[in-house]
Amino acid sequence: MLASDKKKNKLFYYWLLTTFLLVFMMIVVGGLTRLTNSGLSITEWELFKGIFPPLNPDTWNKYFSFYKDIPQYKLVNSGMTLEDFKVIFYWEYFHRILGRIIGLFFLIPLIYFFLKSHIDKKHLLTCFKIFILILLQGFVGWYMVKSGLVNNISVSHYRLSIHLTIAFFIMTILFWTLLNIKNNKLTVFFKNNRANYVFYFLIFLLFLQIVIGAFVSGLDAGRIYQTWPSMNYSYFPNDVVINSMRDLFDFNNHGLIQFYHRNIAYLILVYVFYAGYFIYKNNLRNLYKPFFLVSFFLLLQIFLGIITLLSGLNIYLASSHQICSLLLILSVINLYYNYVN
């Protein structure tokens, strides 16, 4: 019986690990779907009938005709050929298929583990929360796409930021659960300990940067002020006029959003130095290696952000920048986990 339970626990761990890798891949594919402006190529929800791609010319022409009816085609891609359309279609198609795979791959084993195994109830409760987030993510994804089908040539950057943030939540919860299972612990994330807030604030800053980064992506705000360290010839964008406090919260202003994205990165860099001082001062030797990983991914992320901007938003560099953001937040979660354990 004990051997059987151990085998099921191992299976449970590898199931979550595979889900984690699928979600990681999903975020990467989603980023590339946005970078290639492919997210509006499929204009219908198609929860079930969209499982297979178009298999004949008539179906391809039908999908293409739907795309021709939206503002993005009329105002931006009016010269697009069917072959060009197939490229952006497949990016969105694979993004949606991967979402379906994740949903089914998570749901079916979850039912099995709930009914047939002796997995700790706290882990199962976390898994049900993850599944709810996966369902919510699918709804938000379609809600985001709808925002670009009528009056806009791209999706709402607000909805894009919600979509991306939920994806990061799913990934980090999975990662925390995997760490617990691997270390045979049930460590909770939130503990009302004053010292923990050193790490909570860093995680908050990273998620704030994810939201602002989604704004940058959704607005294509990286296409202006492609210089560094100045924004053209000044620290503050010269096309932004601040007449009142309200103007500081104009999240539709491209220059202002890029300014925030840059400066939150600087703030995170300074704060990580402070976290390093906190670790050194308290002689937390078990955190030295995890902190080195955080420092490495942070410096790499900043470097990739700068050269992506200077390159005119090279798609490979931009994708690498997004991937590094995943590795950075995971390294910070790992740092905090080692601290509380």
pLDDT in tens, 45-87: 877 777 888 989 999 999 999 999 999 999 988 889 999 999 9
State the maximum Cα–Cα separation within the chain, in Å, rounded to a whole number.
71
pLDDT, tens only, 132-178: 999 999 999 999 999 988 888 889 999 999 999 999 999 999 999 99
Tokens in use for 184? 């045979």
Q: Which residue has the tokens 């906190």?
A: 278
User: pTM of the predicted model, to two decimals?
Assistant: 0.93
Q: Which amino acid is at 290?
A: P
pLDDT at 286: 95
Q: What is the mean pLDDT of the chain?
A: 92
Evaluate if residue 1 carries a pLDDT over 50: no
- Residues 135, 110: contact at Cβ < 8 Å? no
3-state SS track over the chain: CHHHHHHHHHHHHHHHHHHHHHHHHHHHHHHHHHHCCCCCCCCCCCCCCCCCCCCCHHHHHHHHHHHHCCHHHHHCCCCCCHHHHHHHHHHHHHHHHHHHHHHHHHHHHHHHHHHHCCCCHHHHHHHHHHHHHHHHHHHHHHHHHHCCCCCCCCCCHHHHHHHHHHHHHHHHHHHHHHHHHHCCCCCCCCCCCHHHHHHHHHHHHHHHHHHHHHHHHHHCHHHCCCCCCCECCECCCCCCCCCCHHHHHCCCCHHHHHHHHHHHHHHHHHHHHHHHHHHHHCCCHHHHHHHHHHHHHHHHHHHHHHHHHHCCCCHHHHHHHHHHHHHHHHHHHHHHHHHHC
What is d(CA 135, CA 131) in angstroms, rounded to the nearest whole number? 6
